[in-house]
Amino acid sequence: MAIDKKGNLSQFAADYVRQEILQGRFKHKEKIVEQELAEKLGMSRGPVREALKILMHEGFVEYEANKGCTVTLLSPKEAYEIFFLRGSLEKIALELCDGHLLKDCIFLMEEALEGMICEDELGDMPRLVSCDELFHKQILKSGQMERLIKLWESMSPMNGAMFLTARNSRNNSAMNELLKEKYVVNGPTSTYEIHKELLEVIKMGDLEKSKQALDNHYQATGERIYRIGMKLENKELFFS
């Protein structure tokens, strides 16, 4: 019983810190002190320590010996790889259903879009992440292969960190310069508009066009983040 209670406390603490990071109240590179967080949440340091381990796995914090935990972003390479892998699994699901999503799944994607309209306006990042998860999972469900869904879900804990990294790349001043370069495509920028455009293509039922739309949705975003991150770090670009 004590183990269950500790697990619940750890999850509560992880949910709290995750929301604070996504809402911008815990800033990038800000230190998270176990004792201070435990006192604020009215619990011992044990569950807080476990919560920070959860968030390390999700890509929200990093730990350094003698320094403790700080808020972090995914590295450019990590972000690109996650975008690439999620997109690839969703394209496999599209192939399995020949580009025709289940009617119930399309309904849930439209419902997720409605949520995105409100959350874009309110700037509620945790809710946007939840709506994004609901939206994309329907593509996997239409493929009707359980192990494929589980493989895709294994990356779901990092979805919030992906959103945070993508937002950081859009807000960075380096974007102004990169927008002038040929590999950045002009298009919708709000979460709602981006996903609305994607769903419109997928609903047409054309497999190749849907797969191309997913490539644009995932790989183009992942590549942009990678380029900006590497540019800021003054490293040689991987892409040419």
Q: What is the mean pLDDT of each run of 10 residues along the chain (240 residues)?
A: 59 94 90 94 94 94 89 85 93 98 97 85 81 96 97 92 78 50 54 93 97 89 72 50
pLDDT number for residue 200: 97
Sheet hosting strand 31-32, strand order edge to edge: 31-32, 68-71, 61-64
Instruction: Give the CA radius of gyration of the chain.
Output: 19
Distance of CA 159 to the CA centre of its chain: 3
pLDDT number for residue 188: 61
Largest Cα–Cα separation, the chain: 59
Residues 6 or more apart whose Cβ sits within 8 Å of residue 202: 94, 99, 101, 139, 210, 213
195 neighbors 132 (Cβ within 8 angstroms): yes
pLDDT number for residue 232: 59
pLDDT number for residue 179: 43
pLDDT number for residue 4: 46
DSSP one-letter code for 185: P
3-state secondary structure 55-67: HHHHCCEEEECCC
Rounded to a whole number of angstroms, the distance between the first and last alpha carbons of the chain is 56
122-151 burial string, b = 16+ CB within 10 Å, else e? eebbbbbbbbbebbbbbbbbbbeeeebbee
